[in-house]
Amino acid sequence: MIFVTGGAGFIGSNFVLDWLAQSDEPVLNYDKLTYAGNLNNLASLKNDGRHSFVRGDICDQAQVLALFQQHKPRAVVHFAAESHVDRSILGPGEFINTNINGTFSLLEAARAYWSGLPDDEKAAFRFLHVSTDEVYGTLGPDDAPFSETTAFAPNSPYSASKAASDHLVRSYFHTYGLPVVTTNCSNNYGPYHFPEKLIPLIIANAQAGKPLPIYGDGQQVRDWLYVSDHCAAIRRVLEAGRLGETYNVGGWNEMANLDVVHTLCDMLDQLKPKAAGSYRDQITFVKDRPGHDRRYAIDARKLERELGWKPAETFQTGIAKTVQWYLDNQAWVADVQSGSYAKWVETNYFNR
Ligand code: NAD
pLDDT (tens digit per residue) in 334-349: 888 887 544 444 455 4
The pLDDT value given to residue 349: 41
Q: Which of 26, 305, 290 is nearest to 148 (CA)?
A: 305
User: How many angstroms separate the CA atoms of 250 and 6, rounded?
Assistant: 21
> What value does the mean pLDDT of the chain take?
94
Q: Please pick, among 133, 196, 223, 254, the residue that the annotation labels catalytic.
A: 133
C-alpha of residue 196 to centroid of ligand 1, in Å: 13
Q: Which of 301, 184, 179 is nearest to 242 (CA)?
A: 179
Position 258 in a domain: no
What's the mean pLDDT in 37-64?
A: 95
Note whether 1 and 75 are within 8 A (CB).
no
Domain count, the chain: 1
CA atoms within 13 A on the CB side of 26: 12
Question: Taking 90 as the threshold, does the pLDDT of residue 58 lie above it?
Answer: yes
- Ligand 1 in contact with 185 (CB < 6 A)? yes
The answer to whether residue 296 is domain-embedded is yes
ipTM over 0.85: yes
Quick check: is 208 in a domain?
Answer: no
> Do residues 228 and 19 lie in contact, with contact meaning Cβ atoms separated by under 8 Å?
no
Burial class (CB in 10 A: 0-12, 13-18, 19+), 151: exposed
Is residue 115, in this structure, part of any structural domain at all? yes
Residue 21, SS3? Answer: helix
Burial pattern 307-329, b for ≥16 Cβ within 10 A else e, equals: bebebebebeebbeebbebbeee
Q: Is the CB of 162 under 6 A from ligand 1?
A: yes
Indicate whether residue 187 lines ligand 1 (CB < 6 A): yes
Query: Is 158 noted as a catalytic residue in this protein?
Result: yes
pLDDT per position as a tens digit, 239-274: 999 999 999 999 999 999 999 999 999 999 999 999
103-160 pLDDT tens trace: 999 999 999 999 999 999 999 999 999 999 999 999 999 999 999 999 999 999 999 9
> Does 260 fall in a domain?
no
pLDDT of residue 347: 56
pLDDT at position 338: 83
**Is the residue at 90 inside a domain?**
yes
Structure confidence at residue 103 (pLDDT)? 98
**pLDDT the model gives residue 350:** 41
Given 134, 223, 293, 299, which residue is catalytic?
Answer: 134
CA-57 nearest atom, ligand 1: 19
Domain extent for 126: 2-189+224-252+292-312
With beta carbons less than 8 A apart as the criterion, state whether 161 and 96 touch. yes
Residues in the chain: 352
Q: Is the pLDDT of residue 199 over 90?
A: yes
Q: Which CA distances in Å does 130 have to 15, 38, 78, 80?
A: 11, 19, 6, 9
Q: Which residue has the higher pLDDT, 344 or 201?
A: 201
Ligand 1 atom with the shortest distance to the CA of 78: 32
3-state SS of 141-195 is CCCCCECCCCCCCCCCHHHHHHHHHHHHHHHHHHHHCCCEEEEEECEEECCCCCC
Give the pLDDT of residue 345.
Answer: 44
Query: What distance in angstroms lies between residue 144's CA and the mean position of ligand 1's atoms?
Result: 28
- With a 6 Å cutoff on the Cβ, whether 5 touches ligand 1 is yes
31 Cβ closer than 6 Å to some ligand 1 atom: yes
Number of Cβ within a 10 Å radius of residue 169:
25
Confidence of residue 310 (pLDDT cuts 50, 70, 90): very high
Within a domain: 137? yes
Which residue has better confidence, 12 or 86?
Answer: 12
Express each pLDDT in 62-92 by its tens digit.
999 999 999 999 999 999 999 999 999 999 9
| Domain presence at residue 170 | yes
* Residue 275 clears pLDDT 90, i.e. is over it: yes
- How far apart CA 129 and CA 132 sit, in angstroms, is 10
Any idea what the CATH number is for the domain that residue 102 is in?
A: 3.40.50.720
Q: Give percent of the chain above pLDDT 90.
A: 90
